[in-house]
Chain A
Amino acid sequence: MNLTPGPEHFLVLGAILFTLGVIGVLTRRDPLIIFMSIELMLNSVNLTFATFSQQLGSADGQVFVFIVMTVAAAEVVVGLALIVSIFQTRQQIDVDELDQMSG
């Protein structure tokens, strides 16, 4: 394997980041960290798309990256809204327990 970075290096980096994201989703229990691990996975896919786009000399991959970014932003909005609404519901259901938690 050549040390001058070629497309393989970018692809391997993408694979490493994707795998880190998978590990995060599978091993962590904190919903926010799981969520951010998923974002990491999406970003590693974006890197893969951009690499192929450059390699193939077509802008299709870059357009895909752009679309993925938009989708990820929408996903973040919904996911965070769900988290906040769960949190607030719990707060109302069991105020005492939560006071202890955040106190």
Chain B
Amino acid sequence: MTVVASIVFYVAAAIAILGGIGVVSARSPMYSGLSLILTLSQLAVLFLLLGAQFIAAAQILIYAGAVMVLFLFVIALLGVEAYPFLGRHLPGQRPLSVALAAILLAGVIFFVAENPRAITGAHSTVLQSGGNVEVFGRQLFTSFFFPFELTAPLLIVAMIGAVALSRSRRGDTNA
């Protein structure tokens, strides 16, 4: 990687981590959502560094764009109060969970740092030849044609679900 790319990586990574910390530590869901947008946009930069141009574009358009707007819309709709219907903490859950998560993180970092060649295969230029989007599209519509088709029923189910859940609300008001 060039020096510029290295700098871009570190800056994007730092912002992404700060955004991640923001997501989990924000007082209100609104700040949490804005932090998430920050992280998602930095991930798009990282996707570009990884040569995944199409994914980077989709990340901005779909994720940081459409999905997060929906999130923020619902947050605004409901107000910024917390709705504590999930029950109480178990005693000591907070420190315990942080400790567990720290162990998980330490494990992954340790293994990756100890064994940088853990990943098989060498750097290949397949993705660069002929443009990333073409290779991506070719794979999507041949080898992974069936998984791609399967997103159709998935979206239909999500749609039926959203309609059904809002319909039942209207029924409530009528009753």
Contacts and interface: CB of A to CB of B under 8 A. Distances in A.
A89 B168 CA distance: 10
Interface string B77-106: 111011111100100011001101110110
Interface in B52-70: 52, 54-55, 58-59, 62-63, 66-67, 70
A30 B82 contact: yes
A30 B23 CA distance: 12
Contacts of A59: 126-127, 132, 135-136, 138-139
B154 A71 contact: yes
A6 B49 CA distance: 11
B105 to A, nearest CB: 4
A73 B67 contact: yes
A40 B20 contact: yes
Interface of A: 1, 3-13, 15-17, 19-24, 26-34, 36-37, 39-40, 43, 46-47, 50-60, 62-63, 65-67, 69-78, 80-90, 92, 101-102
Contact of A33 (B24, B59, B112, B121): B24
B164 to A, nearest CB: 8
A62 B136 contact: yes
Question: Interface majority SS on A: helix, strand, loop or mixed?
Answer: helix
Contacts of A34: 86
25 contacts: A4-B6, A6-B1, A12-B108, A23-B97, A26-B94, A26-B98, A27-B97, A32-B75, A32-B78, A36-B32, A40-B20, A50-B46, A51-B50, A52-B119, A57-B123, A59-B132, A60-B144, A62-B52, A66-B54, A66-B136, A77-B158, A77-B161, A78-B162, A85-B169, A102-B79
A90 to B, nearest CB: 8
Given A36-B71, A66-B140, A54 B6 contact: no
A3 B3 CA distance: 11
Nearest to B115: A8
